[in-house]
Copies of this chain bind each other. A is one copy, B any other.
Amino acid sequence: MNVNFAERAHNHNFKLDPIVRSLLDTDFYKLLMLQFVWKNFPTTHVTSEVHNRTVRVRLAERISAEALRDQMEHVRGLRFLKSELVWLAGNSFYGTRQIFEPAFLDWLEHKHRLSDYEIHEEDGQLILRFSGLWSEVTMWEVYALAIVSEMKTRAALAELNELELDVLYARAKTRLWDKIELLRKVPGLRISDFGTRRRHSFLWQEYCVQAMDAALNTNAADQRFVGTSNTALAYKHNLEAIGTNAHELPMVLAAIASRGSDEELRQSQYRVLELWQRSYGGELLIMLPDTFGTTQFLEGAPPFVTRWTGERVDSKDPFIAGEEYLTWLEQRGEDPRKKRLIASDGLDANTIVRLHEHFSQRIRFSAGWGTLLTNDFRDCHPRGPEEGQATFEPISMVCKITSADGIPTVKLSDNPGKASGPAELVERYRKAFGSPVLEELPILV
């Protein structure tokens, strides 16, 4: 009697179930960085590449290049809606209105496009290469990662029957809620969702974000779920959009500066901050010091850097990196209680609680909770850990700028396992930045 004929017909006939449904479905920092690139580097050309660090998962055997291209082309066909642009113009982010310039929004509406790309298969992996103006390439990062991540999910879902699908999600929800119950016991936490790029799926990320908001923000005076890096979800669910900047900025500026002296190369990491603070202030002045090694970054930082609001720790043990930042602030006469420390690398609920307990009395601590919020399906498979079946484990997939104006980029990182770039250039950078050889940490996600 109550058949929804249109829905049934659509479900059995749709051509494409899009993964990215809006250009806002990206990390907020990509929009901040896009404005930065549009303003400061409008003619810089870059190449970038999606790369799966979890080599045992042979993505090309699970995902067809053709279906991947269909999803990518769907994104290329998207435009920012008028309502989305009005929101970007009129909404306040981090308490500031008009963070995006009218000229930038006008460009976004009328001129912005996504670059061309190529898809290759190599050793069972799918390699995506993007090439074009930096302003055309940069936005691909999150769209492409989210697409590949969800296509991997869909391939695994397709092996399950209806009951097994139900069990899978019941287990994942049970796990999520167990984590949330742990977090509910700790007042004063500050957690953001950083899980767009390696999410299980868009709808699952949305579920996680709504669950966190409903469960952790019941007390108006203690809003523990601060917001989401996903701009579409922030827009849709009345949440704060969270994020500042990423490694691609120092990597590109270093590549350009590497034409010059070692000292020019080394100074490029601070040049990023100089340019950034021309456009942004306050809570957006969060430095990310680990691109070429945190210790050298802090030691060599010019005085203006100490006035920045905080630091995001991404590739170093956050307990060690946090202590290093606190010591550095105290040595430079800054009050850490006015600063912010953000951890964002491979966090899970228990680590977040431990970090909060360790730091929150001494510095404003917050956690960017990524893959283990939006894609923790470990041990949720209804058939158990059998050989050969496609699983739902998250993989460590990244999209990195590989060259800028023809010059290869380099990342040293605090974790040598995350270093990238041609060997001879890595040597040059190590000499210029004086980075010590560090202990390799396991990369979870």
Contacts and interface: CB of A to CB of B under 8 A. Distances in A.
Contacts of A161: 214
A210 interface: yes
A442 interface: no
A305 interface: no
A171 B163 contact: no
B215 A163 contact: yes
- If over half of A's interface residues share one DSSP class (helix, strand or loop), that class is named, otherwise mixed; here it is helix
B170 A177 contact: yes
Contacts of A214: 161, 163
Interface residues of A, number: 23
A425 interface: no
A167 interface: yes
A16 interface: no
A158 interface: no
B173 A167 contact: yes
Contacts of A7: 2, 4
A169 B177 CA distance: 12
A178 to B, nearest CB: 9
Contact of A4 (B4, B181, B211): B4
A403 B2 CA distance: 46
Given A4-B7, A6-B1, A163-B214, A177 B171 contact: yes
Contacts of A382: 177
Interface of A: 1-2, 4, 6-7, 10, 161, 163, 166-167, 169-171, 173-174, 177, 181, 210-211, 214-215, 382, 384
8 contacts: A1-B6, A4-B4, A163-B210, A163-B215, A170-B171, A170-B174, A171-B174, A174-B174
